[in-house]
Amino acid sequence: MRLDLKSIIFFLSLVVFLGACKSSSKNEKSSATGWEYNNPEYGGFEKLQYEGQQAGPNLVLIEGGTFTMGTTQEDVTYEWNNIPRRVTVSSFYMDETEVSNINWKEYVEWTKRTYRSYPQIWRDALPDTLVWREELSFNEPLVETYYRHPSYDDYPVVGVSWLQTQEFCKWRSDRVNEGILVERGILNLNVNEQVDSESFTTGAYLEGQYQGSVRKNLEDLNSGGERPVKFEDGILLPEYRLPTEAEWEYAALALQGNKSVSSDEVITDRRYFPWNGNTARYRLNDKYQGDILANFKRGRGDYMGMAGNLNDKASGPAPVFQYIPNDYGLFNMAGNVNEWCQDVYRPLTSSTLSDAENHDLNSFRGNEFKELIRDEEGRPIEKDSMGRLQYQLVEDDTLGYRENYRKGDVRNYGDGDNEDFIKYGYGEYTLISDQSRVIKGGGWEDRLFWLAPGTRRFKHEEKADRDLGFRCAMIRVGGESGNDDMGGNSFGKASKKRRFK
């Protein structure tokens, strides 16, 4: 069998990567006890030479930092629901693009093929294509074509609710980690054998409730045999999820693009949009000068300009790689479609409110603290019909003398709803409730104001819309800076071959 140069390079890179993740030298000793690591004679306690986190498919590393979160231009709506305040965001990963129709179709097809005994699961995963209907507009063709026709494969998926995105993120996390185990030669690819509860999920695998088709497990230095991959091995990636509002806004602004050429520490902390300036046109003196930077509605009845010189070239959504990316290499962080965030929406962000409303590190509202459901022996109970471990909300009366949190569900913590003048009763007093989720970024039928990262709106988590999609994020474990030698995308770099269309 002949190997071409590309195959040889890939093989050598894989050998180097696997070697980097193996145990460190057997001569290395503990600084606490003096016992040798990775030595079966000393019990086989392992210390890994971990080289850093790989970037999952389509993810870009967003180097964290401090920024002014909130409205940075005139609040034309006079809602005052995003008053500027200084916060810090830890480094994380974010999708280079919005999740596309082809991504979602892959998800639905996998769900349909795998959960054969539960057809309602894949039916619940289908997007709501009826969001295209309008009483006084002829959008009926898009009901049938936008999601199903291959010409729209690379367009952002719309018509999906916040709840549906949560299921997509779980599915994506499991498929990526399963793929890692297959590529490492630990598991065999057995797609057709995975049915219902026997499908691979990361949690079930780590807890020993998924066996699958094992090719070769890792060496167990403790017993002298083999063992499955553990979380402590650092091989599997953290879960995909929606970005928090703070992460989304920070990534959209991409303030690293304001870095001074003459100084490594001078960065202008001010932008209206994901680009510099207060207009939506490309201003550099080259062939792109004057081009529209995003997909939005410029005025009443003007969605894409005049024939012969269309400006944004899209009367509705545009492909996910269209237009110029921001300085993190992220496409369509303004316009095209609004995007779901993980947060529960509350309108009050004034600095006069509680610290919970304004935590200055990784600000987030929406925590529901959960724990594994365990049997009497302390082991996780049997996985559910989808192959997933089962969790429950932490009960308030089990928290004892904890000082850092006192409730399991803190979505409405410190929001003032116990006051007489604020009531979050959905459908009774206001549309705002614990099921209201933040949306950001503006869409193809929004005016320029909504494209500013500081603006914010909300929608009920069960609802969907024709100008609302999403992208995924992932935490960064360990150091804040990147590790390009591990194959991940470094921050500020994008797929240049697809920047302009």
DSSP 109-152: HHHHHH-TT-HHHHHHHS--GGGG-BTTB--HHHHHHTTTSGGG
Start-to-end CA distance of the chain, whole Å, equals 41
In the DSSP assignment, the letter for residue 345 is P
Please say if the pLDDT value at position 96 is more than 60.
yes
Domain that holds residue 7: 1-49
Is residue 43 one of the residues assigned to a domain?
A: yes
With bands split at pLDDT 50, 70 and 90, how would you rate the model's confidence at 50?
A: confident
Cα dist from 189 to 85, 199, 212, whole Å: 49, 12, 9
Per residue in 358-377, pLDDT tens?
A: 688 999 999 999 999 999 99
The answer to whether the beta carbons of residues 96 and 330 sit under 8 Å apart is yes
pLDDT at residue 168 is higher than 90: yes
What's the CA gap between 394 and 408, in Å, rounded? 5
Look at residue 156 and tell me if it is in a domain: no
DSSP lists the bridge partners of residue 89 as 65
| Across 16-28, average pLDDT | 53
Q: What per-residue confidence (pLDDT) applies to 261?
A: 55
Residue 132 pLDDT: 97
Q: Is residue 45 part of a domain?
A: yes
- Cα–Cα–Cα angle for 496, 325, 170, rounded to 5 degrees: 95
Q: Is the residue at 32 inside a domain?
A: yes
Q: How far apart are CA 284 and CA 291, in angstroms?
A: 10
Banded pLDDT at 430 (limits 50, 70, 90):
confident
At 419, the pLDDT band (50, 70, 90 cuts) reads low
Q: What domain count does the chain have?
A: 1
> Is 260 a residue whose pLDDT tops 80?
no
Q: Is residue 20 part of a domain?
A: yes
Q: How confident is the model at residue 262 (pLDDT cuts 50, 70, 90)?
A: low
Residue 311 has pLDDT above 50, yes or no: yes
Q: Is residue 246 part of a domain?
A: no
Give me the chain's average pLDDT, please. Answer: 86
In a domain, 35, yes or no: yes
Per-residue DSSP letters for 362-396? Answer: S-----B-EEE-B-TTSPBPPP-TTS---EEEPPG
Q: Is the pLDDT of residue 497 over 90?
A: no
The tens digit of pLDDT for each residue in 387-401 reads 999 999 999 999 988
Q: Is residue 18 part of a domain?
A: yes
- Under 8 Å between Cβ of 213 and 187: yes
**Beta carbons of 88 and 361 less than 8 angstroms apart:** yes
Write out pLDDT tens, residues 174-210. 999 999 999 999 999 999 899 999 999 999 999 999 9
Q: Kindly tell me the burial class for residue 132, based on how many C-beta atoms sit within 10 Å of its own C-beta (0-12, 13-18, 19 or more).
A: buried
